[in-house]
Amino acid sequence: MPFHKETFDRIPQEKRDHIFTIAVSEFAQRGYAAASINGIARKAGISIGSMYSYFDSKEDLFLAIVDKGYELLERVFRELSREGSFRQQLLELLHTALRYARQHPDMNNLYLGVMTEELAPLSMRLSSRVEKVSVNYYHHMLQAAVNRGELRADLDIPLAAYLMDNNVLMLQLACSSGYHRYRLQHFVGERAENLEQLANSLCDLIMRCLQ
């Protein structure tokens, strides 16, 4: 079930983290195909042989780190507050997304690769943990707000969730990805330099759809 071998569980946490950090950076910056296991091993200061004693293949190493990223993302979602007004929750979500992207830019960019058709065969080996968690989060958050009368009763909740996530995702990517930052600039000019402020405005705009 896990993508790493048992040997990997037996090495110090610190070493595990180091390997992951290097691997995330390589995969995120070079892409799956162009990243090299040998290069990751070298940069991580371990031998190729060890690498293959931790992971069966390049594919597994990749899936292991994506999975680890999913775990992290899940935790982030779970730690989001379930209280306060809907607007407050949405604001928290947006700012948390930005904070996550700033703290883990490589991990964030890794998803750009996962979204690619190239990695579709790999993605199929991943559980849809994050999607389930996030969709759930959105649905509950919206439903609760409707119930509280904060949002209109006839709101198309699934679609609203989708719209919200689309915009959160794009803002988050603008933090770490050259292309998405560039795209955002084309739309909002120098306002792209202050993503937190932009998040506030985006919150206002999104709220309108929902009320």
Partner DNA sequence: TATGAATGAGCCTTCATTCAT
Partner DNA sequence: GATGAATGAAGGCTCATTCAT
On whether the CB atoms of residues 69 and 176 are closer than 8 A, the answer is no
The residues of the shown chain that bind its own copies, judged by CB under 8 A, are 28-34, 109, 112-120, 123, 128, 131-132, 135, 138, 156, 158-163, 165-167, 170, 177-180, 182-184, 186-189, 191, 198, 201-202, 204-206, 208-210
Contact between 52 and DNA per CB under 7 A: yes
Least distance in angstroms from the C-beta of 30 to its own copies = 6
- Contacts of residue 207, defined as CB under 8 A and 6 or more positions apart, other chains included, come to 86, 87, 90
Q: Helix axis angle, 58-78 relative to 86-103, nearest 10°?
A: 150
Task: Please name which of 132, 137, 80, 75 lies closest in space to residue 107, comparing C-alpha atoms.
Answer: 75
Contact between 135 and DNA per CB under 7 A: no
- Region of 32 on the Ramachandran plot (φ > 0 left; ψ -120 to 50 alpha; else beta): alpha
Least distance in angstroms from the C-beta of 204 to its own copies = 8
Contact between 39 and DNA per CB under 7 A: yes
Contact between 46 and DNA per CB under 7 A: yes
Identity of the residue, 58 or 104, whose beta carbon is nearer to DNA in the bound complex: 58
Contact between 7 and DNA per CB under 7 A: yes
Residue labelled with tokens 């790493």: 4
Where do contacts with DNA occur on this chain (CB under 7 A)?
A: 6-7, 10-11, 15, 34-39, 46-54, 56-59
